A and B are shown apart, each in its own frame.
Chain A
Amino acid sequence: MINLNNVTKIYSSRFKNNEKIALKGVSFNVNQSEFVSLVGKSGSGKTTLLRLILGEEKPTEGKIYFEGTDLTKIKPAHLYKVRRRIGTVFQDYKLFPTKTTRENIAYVMEVMGASDEEINRDVEQILDIVGLKDRADSFPDELSGGERQRVAVARALIHRPDIILADEPTGNLDPYNTLEIVKLLLKIHEMGKTIILATHNKELVNYLRKRVVTLEDGRIIRDEEKGRFIL
């Protein structure tokens, strides 16, 4: 479903001498309905990998295929077609500050042209699942870190995407909410969806007993089925 072929990503800043190699010759395939945990020290390149899959960044070298289509060949104006099939929980949430919880979640369905009835029904349902019913009309700056994170999770799932990219989706959650989100992801995975989860949560990864890909300094150093969290 997703193939990275010898991908290198170098971030270059405005100063020519300040380049950062985030990924080095990474090859990586994810099949449909797989659940992959992406682990590695801070700065090892997990977020970068997810960004490349979403088309947010372009690889400096190498190719990325989404169902056989070269992502770098898709015109920016058409990228939305791919992105509508992906649900992303961003590490920094990326919530819309001038939209309420409800509106933040609904936006993803609005862009796809869903009807108001569908949107209302689905948003109520997911608000209930992530436990934010009473925070539905609050703005992001009125929410706690964990509440914001749950809005981000809800927004990633609302449109029933085929692929979920979850970048540290439980980082700000208490054990109870972490368990709830993990159960939710597993349930979605059982429905045949593909999930890539970047996380620092050792217990969580070990509990899952799914494929684990370990990154170090921009390279994949381990890739195991039913793997464990080892840095």
Chain B
Amino acid sequence: MLASFKRVIKSGFLSFKRNFSLNISTIFVVFLAVSLVSFIFFLNLFSRILISDIEKRVDISVYFKEDAPSEKILSIKDEISKLEDVEKIEYVSADETMEKFIEKYKNDETIMESLKEIEKNPFYPSLNINAKTAQGYENIVNYLNKSVPQELIAKIDYFERKPVIDKIFSITSTVNKGGLVFGILFSIIAILAGFNTIKIAIENLKQEIETMRLVGASNWFIRGPFLVQGIIIGFFAILLSLIMIFILFGYFDGKIKSIEPSFSLMSLLFDNFGKLILLQLIVGVGLGIIASSFAIRKYLKV
């Protein structure tokens, strides 16, 4: 049994070597399939990062009257943060808002002049709230209207932002869905191409497979070497694809860092390396195994 197993593996390596030129083209097609699926994987990842970045910038602000006591505002903050829809909530005092304002416009003399003329702090204390979903904002606003004493609130900065917020959420969900459909479609095309290449390669061996059966080989003894060969092809395809990904990411890492220093393409690659390898193994090796099993099955009937 063990001897047969070794023999099957040896035979797989041998036929890989003997059919080298055919295998090179198969490796190339599987490489394309693996790379395309990896590309889709990263595209999906990028769009998710981008979307969550956009979503973080959307918020609603509740401005309180200047005489609203800060303890009261903080207790309202605690209440709101208990709501399921709330992703993040932040209290900004009037002084902090003023400091930020001054920081931003310190070079603009007319603004600074007029600020001095007012003498007192013209800003309101506020709560900045991020919701998890577009519907979440709606729920939070309803809560604010019902359960917070209205005499404390100066203004809820939501209704004028509502169209923008709705639009952003609808765009991001379209992008998400579109990316998924696009990704699945292209992955299917790539996988079918790989599948077909392997199938045609094996169809050329119809005669040999039938002869193997006629001289008494059991089905697994016939299949074994093809599976081994499929796995070898998959490994080479994955290796090539990884080399390409590392070169591309290394190249663009520097470029992106010069624009956005906080974003590292390389660490994104390393963070998702496990998932990437798993995906590539499923596509690369799975393709070899499934396609060759399918193609051989036809000839195991003689």
Contacts and interface: CB of A to CB of B under 8 A. Distances in A.
B7 interface: yes
Contact of B214 (A83, A112, A115): A83
Interface string B1-40: 1011001000000010011000000000000000000000
Contacts of B264: none
A192 interface: no
Interface string A38-54: 00000000000000001
Interface of A: 54, 56, 76-77, 79-80, 83-84, 86, 88, 90, 94, 96-98, 107-108, 110-113, 115-116, 155, 159
Nearest to A115: B3
Chain B contact surface mostly? helix
Contacts of A80: 213, 216-219
Contacts of A116: 3
Given A76-B302, A77-B219, A98-B19, 19 more contacts: A79-B213, A80-B213, A80-B216, A80-B218, A83-B214, A83-B216, A84-B216, A86-B216, A90-B211, A90-B214, A94-B207, A94-B214, A97-B208, A108-B215, A110-B4, A113-B1, A116-B3, A155-B215, A159-B216
Contacts of A56: 210, 214, 302
Nearest to A94: B211
Contacts of A96: 208, 211
A112 B216 contact: yes
A-B pairs, top 8 by smallest CB distance, nearest first, are A84-B216, A111-B217, A83-B216, A94-B211, A98-B18, A80-B216, A80-B218, A108-B215
A76 B213 CA distance: 9
Given A98-B15, A98-B18, A113-B4, A88 B215 contact: yes
Interface in B208-230: 208, 210-219, 221
Contacts of A86: 216
- Chain B interface extent, by class: 20 to 34
Nearest to A76: B301
Contacts, number: 58
Given A98-B19, A113-B4, A115-B3, A83 B215 contact: yes
Given A107-B215, A113-B3, A113-B4, A77 B300 contact: yes
Contacts of B18: 98
Contacts of B7: 110
B221 to A, nearest CB: 5
Contacts of A107: 212, 215, 217
A111 B214 contact: no
A54 B19 CA distance: 30
A77 B210 CA distance: 13
A111 B221 contact: yes
A159 B210 CA distance: 19
B208 to A, nearest CB: 6
A77 B7 CA distance: 20
A80 B211 CA distance: 11
Contacts of A155: 215
B214 A88 contact: yes
Residue in B7, B15, B300 with the greatest tally of chain A CB atoms within 10 Å: B7
Contacts of B221: 110-111
Contacts of B4: 110, 113
B208 A111 contact: no
Contacts of B300: 76-77
26 contacts: A54-B214, A56-B210, A56-B214, A76-B300, A76-B302, A77-B218, A77-B219, A77-B300, A80-B213, A80-B218, A83-B213, A83-B214, A86-B216, A90-B211, A94-B207, A97-B208, A98-B18, A98-B208, A107-B215, A110-B4, A111-B212, A112-B216, A113-B1, A113-B3, A115-B3, A159-B216
A56 B219 CA distance: 15
Contacts of B214: 54, 56, 83, 88, 90, 94
Contact of A111 (B15, B19, B216, B301): B216
Contacts of A83: 213-216
Contacts of B1: 113
Interface string B82-108: 000000000000000000000000000
